[in-house]
Amino acid sequence: MRDDFIRVAAATPKIRVADPLYNREQIEGLMAEARGRQVKVLVFPELCLTAYTCGDLFLQDSLIDEAKRQLALLVQASADSDMLVFAGLPWVKDGRLYNVMAAFQQGRLLGLVPKRSIPNYSEFYEARHFHEGNETAVQVDFTDAAGRTYPVRLGSRLLFVCRNNPKLVVAAEICEDLWGAMPPSIAHAMAGATLIVNGSASDEVTGKAAYRRELAVGQSARLVCGYVYASAGEGESTTDLVFGGHNLIAENGTLLAQSKLFETGIITADMDLGRLSSERRRITTYRMSGAEDYEIVYFSQKQEDLALCRRIDPAPFVPSGREDRTRRCEEILSIQAMGLKKRLEHTGCRSAVVGISGGLDSTLALLVTVRAFDMLNIPREKIVTVTMPCFGTTDRTYDNACTLIRCLGTDFREIDIREAVTLHFRDIGHDGEKLDVTYENSQARERTQVLMDIANETGGLVIGTGDMSELALGWATYNGDHMSMYAVNASVPKTLVRHLVRYYADTCGDEKLSLALSDVLDTPVSPELLPPQDGEIAQKTEDLVGPYELHDFFLYYVLRFGYRPRKVFRLAQLAFAGAYDRETIKKWLCIFYRRFFAQQFKRSCLPDGPKVGSVAVSPRGDLRMPSDASAGLWLGEAEQL
């Protein structure tokens, strides 16, 4: 599929015990439904052609032979589709019975994968009938519905590789294989499989569904793969057990879809093979090995456009859900505070200096600094909070800054820098009426100089306030707000800054502080370096560089997964449907690439700061990028969208 997406499905048919003809008809019906949904890989439960609960009927030649005949008809039914299908049945080889998953497509049986782990405990007595499958593939003969016989490989070490989509490499394991100490899927993934399918018959007992879900999702995370789990359901014998048809689709630790218990039918999800490949490439400890022990079975699929049915989160940096919100916000604030705590302890500093503008970033930096000082049992009065009004300061931001400082109980200093900046204009021969970049940056650098000198005076550290979104876009004055002695917000994007401040406002328990924080959140993002218009902020950052929610979205997918512009653009259109039109997204995407490449020199000399998430721009760890790399390749593709 385009952009490395592929639609996969897990299906549970309603079956009859020991009735392969009826079961084949039900499976065919679900295959037709899956084709209508543009599914490319479809997985059925183990032994679904006969039912899992046949017991000693598995010793009857009639059942085994009929299952084989019905498989031939299933394979024939796949002739007009390139969908890769896995379905379970019993298979005899050299006088031994095996529990296998048959893989077929376009009217041809591609391979048979036997179950490796045969349970013989509690309610499961498979060892009474089935033998452990072999790893090394052997040849068996298969006779199709037209009477033609051809060789097929039977073994657990088979990789089904798509010729025209090499990122799609499929391997199979069966039920108990996943529950054992060394699942075959480990070797499958190490050999190159990006998608593991599991046909299962897992009974339902209290609490088992949650454990099963954690097992499948965890395996997808551990192996950095997709995992499709299809389990037996209605129609299996209820002599001793009930089967719930619990189907699961996971991708690298994320549950994409799951069925309701005790229902039959299909669940689908759109899997991102590009994400898996990128993640494996990024994790240098993910070492591929053992591929030489596997046999490759090739198949082909048409490259078709797919209207994605996958939710794309427009705020990938921001935690969702009330419980997750509390846990994640506390975790992030603690990481920031612990980083600063260690730096204060190491340097022996018992003072910190924070410039407070009344904006989001400086507010978060102050909240983190207060938390670090509380951890160290250092009085908050040792935090020197400085507000430095100048030409662009509005009453709103000034009042909010003052309120925050007083509510938090830190040392409050106000230093008006208008005169100092005016003298500086005179010294460099600048016309103070000319509202250019010199006019703006002189104020930012004067503020940084004041903070640095106060830090020297008090024996403290200047705490940086700039966030990761600003660093990505280069929206910082070089050696102005760009510089500090410890940058607590350096890996916190703007959308997350806003979320953290909102969380603090909701949970601080101080009504006056909460109201001030809420007003900070409602204030337009601005450096306030240009004179106000009618008392209101004249310089709104997002009017100039673009919406931060878009830039944070771009930043996440560009740095976290290395997606190309075309894919980032496609995902953004889905995530922000109804909020931004196509041309608006394209405009800001081009600006993002242009600024991201041009401003690397500012990121190459960043002060220290704690990493809080999976994306960061520290030149010492996460982003080793040349300061003079060409953006032409990326801009060229973005501009042609």
Active-site annotation holder among 40, 68, 115, 602: 115
Closest alpha carbon to 248 in 166, 178, 323, 169: 178
- Residue pointed to by tokens 């991102």: 272
CA separation for the pair 461, 351 (Å, rounded): 7
Dihedral sign for Cα atoms in the order 485, 382, 496, 401: negative
Closest alpha carbon to 301 in 15, 83, 74: 83
Annotated active-site residue 46? The verdict is yes
Phi, psi of 459, deg, nearest 5 = 70, 40
Two structure tokens written together for 110: 């591609």
Contact 505, 512 (CB under 8 A): no
Closest alpha carbon to 563 in 217, 261, 282: 282
Active-site annotation holder among 48, 54, 162, 175: 175
Two structure tokens written together for 470: 């600003």
CA separation for the pair 571, 181 (Å, rounded): 38
Contact 146, 77 (CB under 8 A): no
- Strands 120-121 and 124-125, bridge-based pairing: antiparallel
CA separation for the pair 335, 368 (Å, rounded): 9
Annotated active-site residue 40? The verdict is no
CA separation for the pair 231, 245 (Å, rounded): 5
Dihedral sign for Cα atoms in the order 91, 93, 97, 103: negative
Annotated active-site residue 175? The verdict is yes
Closest alpha carbon to 13 in 22, 5, 4, 3: 22
CA separation for the pair 464, 481 (Å, rounded): 7
CA separation for the pair 627, 475 (Å, rounded): 16
- Residue pointed to by tokens 């090499």: 166
Cα end-to-end distance, the chain, whole Å: 18
Stretch (H or E) spanning 192: none
Active-site annotation holder among 46, 173, 470, 528: 46
Catalogue the active-site residues. 46, 115, 175
